[in-house]
Amino acid sequence: MSTIHVNTITTVDGTGNITVSRPLSGSGASLTNLPAANLTGALPAINGAAITNLPADPDEIAKQSSDPTVSSPATPILGQVVLNTTSGEMFVCTTVSVGANVWTRHNGDGSALTNLSSANLTGALPAINGASLTNLSSANLTGALPAISGASLTGIVPGPTVSASDPAADTNPSSGLGTQWANSTSGEFYICTDATTDKNVWTNVGAGSGDIVPIVFHGGRGIFAGGNPSTNTIQYITISTTGNATDFGNMTTARDGNSGCTGGSRGIIAGGRSNVIDYITIATTGNAIDFGDLTVSKTYHGALSNGIRGVFAPDGSANVIDYVTVATTGNATDFGDRTTSGDTYGANGETRGLFAGGGGSYSNIIDYITIATPGNATDFGDLTVGRGYVGMGTCESLTRALFVGGGAASGPNISDIIDYVTIATPGNATDFGDLTNEVYSSNSCGNGTRGVSGGGRYPANGGNNLNVMDYFTIATPGNAVDFGDLFQAVHIMASMSGD
């Protein structure tokens, strides 16, 4: 039983209420059915920690450290929300059934949000991955986009390379075929139409003219022109296919001791006891046409070319090197001098020309020049054996030059020796192999892979002209193999190759 202590009781005020002037004391534990209307004033702070069995409010979020299960919470209300404070995932009770409650996970990815007003968004948005965004209208994008990396983009056509100079044949584009090149100095514009390493073709598609093409100084058709006994006959072969030579046409005059070089499609035939220069179109059989004149008459002299400039070595009578521009008819111009005069063999790479041997002096000297720069020759090295009347046509690859046959200074005066050098590296020649016959005043041509030596004479004095042709693989030292026969046996004639 509770005890109530009263200090003062005031009489009934007419309402049936008794006014107590002092607070009542007691726990009130036995109070029941206390109407709210009878409670006035502010209640003191109440600790509800021990309150249990309160009915759940579906609008409130229950927090716990694990996911809800079919049986926990045991008696949820439909629509009740539970938040897993460990994973951050939220669950909604979508089916209430004792021991078989269903909780649907809601990850809050916003996938079902529509018509979200910016007015309802505050604060900074987290980083968003737009990988799955589709049909995003540009009308819905406003403001500045952040920096975007295009590192993973593919299929993007790059803009042109801009340079103060033109591309070259050995300008190898990283983007390959179709690469564009703009010359910021001249305004010329080029497209790479053939992306062969170091032999690229850049086609001028701008307002200017002149394509950039590889330098060509040999080709698939071999030419032998003139020769002793003095003839105007021009013969040709297909270098890659063994067989006999075929008639091509005639030079403007019959002569021997002449030399030849090429610009790939045009062949130049110069000298031969004269200063006459002829030219032919190598791909088209027919007679030669007058090109111009050498600065001096030449006989037994070599020739070489880088595809643009043809250079003619001295003979035994004058130490004069001449040159012409292969594509432009006209007279030759003085280039410079050899370190020694004499009947000379010529060979070349793309930039460097070589002269070797020397007529009756049986020289072993090899000289070199830079074809694009007129000037005197410089000593390169020595042949394995000093000799003259070395085969006077060019036989080389881009890197290696061969010197074929000739007259030896000692021993038998006819040689079957083939020597070779690396064009870019001055030094002495190395033995390559032997011809099928000893021969002097033969001539050679090649397609960059295979060399062919034709004609010549044996023995030197009063001997017979030969119609024999030999061939060899320029990259592989070894003895020559029979190729076929010239249709006219001659020696000291011009030779070249082209297409």
| Banded model confidence at residue 255, pLDDT cuts 50, 70, 90 | very high
Whether 364 and 380 have beta carbons less than 8 Å apart is answered as no
CATH number of 221-498: 2.120.10.80
Lowest mean pLDDT across 160-169, 223-232, 427-436: 160-169
Whether 236 and 224 have beta carbons less than 8 Å apart is answered as yes
Which pLDDT belongs to residue 390?
A: 74
Which pLDDT belongs to residue 69?
A: 92
Looking at the DSSP bridge assignments, the partners of residue 407 are: 388
Q: What is the dihedral of CA 204, 210, 214, 219, to 10 degrees?
A: 120
Q: What percent of the chain has pLDDT over 90?
A: 45
Cα→Cα distances 225→89, 94, 322, Å: 93, 102, 20
Whether 224 and 244 have beta carbons less than 8 Å apart is answered as no
For the chain, how are helix, strand and coil distributed in percent, rounded to 5?
Answer: 0, 40, 60
Whether 257 and 249 have beta carbons less than 8 Å apart is answered as no
Lowest mean pLDDT across 157-171, 239-253, 292-306: 157-171
Where do the domains of the chain lie?
161-204, 221-498
Which residue has tokens 């006459």?
A: 276
HEC string of 281-349 equals ECCCCCCCEEEEEEEEEECCCCEEECCCEEEECCCCCCCCEEEEECCCCCCCEEEECCCCCCCCEEEEC
DSSP letter string over 209-239? Answer: ---B-------SEEEEE--BTTEEEEEEEET
Whether 225 and 495 have beta carbons less than 8 Å apart is answered as yes
The DSSP 8-state label assigned to residue 12 in this structure reads P
* Closest C-alpha among 308, 189, 240, 177 to residue 484: 240
| Banded model confidence at residue 284, pLDDT cuts 50, 70, 90 | very high
Question: Please, what's the b/e burial string for 9-46 (b: 16 or more CB within 10 A of its CB; e: otherwise)?
Answer: eeeeeeeeeeeeeeeeeeeeeeeeeeeeeeeeeeeeee
Section 123-148 average pLDDT = 67
Residue 450 CA from chain centroid, whole number: 28
The average confidence (pLDDT) of the chain is 84
Residue 403, burial from CB neighbour count under 10 angstroms (0-12, 13-18, 19+) = buried
The first and second tokens of residue 162, run together, are 């801009």
Section 409-422 average pLDDT = 78
- State residue 320 phi and psi, 5-degree precision: -125, 125
d(CA 397, CA 81): 85
Quickly count: other Cβ atoms within 10 Å of residue 342's Cβ.
24
Which pLDDT belongs to residue 218?
A: 83
d(CA 293, CA 138): 74
Which residue spans within 32-80 are E strands per DSSP? 61-64
Looking at the DSSP bridge assignments, the partners of residue 352 are: 370
d(CA 266, CA 318): 27
- How are beta strands 61-64 and 81-84 bridged, if at all? parallel
Section 254-282 average pLDDT = 95
Which pLDDT belongs to residue 62?
A: 84
Whether 110 and 90 have beta carbons less than 8 Å apart is answered as no
Looking at the DSSP bridge assignments, the partners of residue 261 are: 268
Residue 463, burial from CB neighbour count under 10 angstroms (0-12, 13-18, 19+) = middle
Section 452-462 average pLDDT = 82
347-389: pLDDT as tens digits: 777 789 999 887 666 888 999 999 999 999 999 999 998 887 7
Question: Please, what's the b/e burial string for 268-277 (b: 16 or more CB within 10 A of its CB; e: otherwise)?
Answer: bbbbbbbbbb
| Banded model confidence at residue 441, pLDDT cuts 50, 70, 90 | confident
d(CA 254, CA 233): 8
Whether 302 and 496 have beta carbons less than 8 Å apart is answered as no
| Banded model confidence at residue 8, pLDDT cuts 50, 70, 90 | low
Which pLDDT belongs to residue 7?
A: 57
| Banded model confidence at residue 238, pLDDT cuts 50, 70, 90 | very high
Section 149-158 average pLDDT = 70
SS3 of 140, please? helix
SS3 of 361, please? helix
| Banded model confidence at residue 90, pLDDT cuts 50, 70, 90 | confident
Which pLDDT belongs to residue 350?
A: 79
